[in-house]
Amino acid sequence: MEREDIYTFKSTYRQDMKVKGFRFGSGQRAACIVGPTRGRENQQLYICGRLVKTLEELEKSGAIANDKEILVIPCANYYAFNLENNFFGVKNLDINRCFPGKTGGEPISRLAGGIYDRIKEYTYTIQFTSFFERSECVPHVRMMETEHTNSSLANLFGLPYVVVRRPLPIDTTTMNYNLQTESGNAFTIFTKETENIDEKAAKGAVSAVLRFLTRMGIIRYECHSGFISHMLYEDDLTDVYAGRGGLFRSKVVCGEDVRYGTKMAEILDPFDGSLREEITASTDGIVFFAHNSAMINQYETAFRMIHRLHE
């Protein structure tokens, strides 16, 4: 294992921020794994740390294929972690909305550009990230739909679902979209938790990455075959909204199979505890995404569901 500084962000008033990378093997730049760009993605940081440890052990045992190199960047934004803030800098900007970046642009654009110039050299890129909302979801691999998209490769992670997103204008500045447009081999993995560490979910995410690297001939590793992934388009998910704002008390969990009319959550008045709204399932299906913060705003997405196609 070799450590390197992927990019150094100069700071006037505090220590320079050095984006760290860990290289395993040598030769063809086969796979790059990128950790959180947001400061509350503790689960994603934990997963990347476990991957670094596991890959170091595999390298020592000679399990990385000859002429293959793997790069892990555990965190692209530890300034935000230090401040317990999601975004970067005094302007509070999201790094994952600044790709591919510019060498002479704003500070956050230079940071994104420095990282992007390094990771675009790899055949496969795997990113760990989260939703903007405080939420949890069923573990899945996500890809942007471009002319280069090859969703069959995403099945090799062995996660329950592969989600293809038809990009909106706001998506054109994400890491996944730019890498997908350039190479067609960019994958984003979403796990159950974000701010809290879920050991079981982290283990599943690490296994998924190792499974993919094994199937692509980059490492030699004995692993379970995982799931036969079900592919779906994000547009096909059914959104369930909160009609009122207030305290949110969920009655279902991600992955749960529910029927039309099932009570999914209650929204309570925060001052007197009275019931403001019961949220019920608008279709038969599986809970794919669930709001998990104590408060919810009116018209905010409470759940996303996979519509049941077959009885």
Q: What domains, with CATH codes, occur in the chain?
A: 2-233 (3.40.630.10), 237-307 (2.40.50.100)
Q: What is the pLDDT of residue 212?
A: 98
Structural contact between residues 229 and 161, judged by C-beta atoms closer than 8 angstroms? yes
- Give residue-wise pLDDT tens across range 120-169: 999 999 999 999 888 999 999 999 998 888 889 999 999 999 999 999 99
Structural contact between residues 238 and 279, judged by C-beta atoms closer than 8 angstroms? no
Top pLDDT among 82 and 270 is at: 270
Structural contact between residues 9 and 156, judged by C-beta atoms closer than 8 angstroms? no
Q: What is the pLDDT of residue 139?
A: 96
Q: What is the pLDDT of residue 90?
A: 67
Is the CA virtual torsion 146, 150, 137, 92 positive or negative?
A: negative
**86 φ/ψ sector (left φ>0, alpha ψ -120 to 50, else beta):** alpha
Q: Which two tokens stand for residue 58?
A: 């595999």
> What does each C-alpha distance from 242 to 202, 232, 296, 297, 304 come to in angstroms?
30, 24, 8, 7, 12
- Give residue-wise pLDDT tens across range 170-223: 999 999 999 999 877 999 999 999 999 999 999 999 999 999 999 999 999 988
- Give residue-wise pLDDT tens across range 30-82: 999 999 999 999 999 999 999 999 999 999 999 999 999 999 999 998 888 88
- Give residue-wise pLDDT tens across range 101-118: 988 888 899 999 999 999
Q: How confident is the model at residue 311 (pLDDT cuts 50, 70, 90)?
A: very low
- Give residue-wise pLDDT tens across range 75-100: 998 888 887 788 887 688 999 999 99
Sheet of 230-233: strand order equals 2-9, 17-25, 68-73, 28-34, 124-128, 186-190, 140-144, 161-165, 230-233
Measured distance CA(301)–CA(160) in Å, rounded: 22
Measured distance CA(243)–CA(221) in Å, rounded: 49
Which contiguous run of DSSP H or E holds residue 28? strand 28-34
- Give residue-wise pLDDT tens across range 221-265: 988 889 999 999 999 999 999 999 999 999 999 999 999 999 999
Which contiguous run of DSSP H or E holds residue 81? helix 78-83
**145-163 per-residue burial string, b: 16 or more CB within 10 A, e: under 16:** bbeebeeebbbbbbbbbbb
Structural contact between residues 184 and 172, judged by C-beta atoms closer than 8 angstroms? no
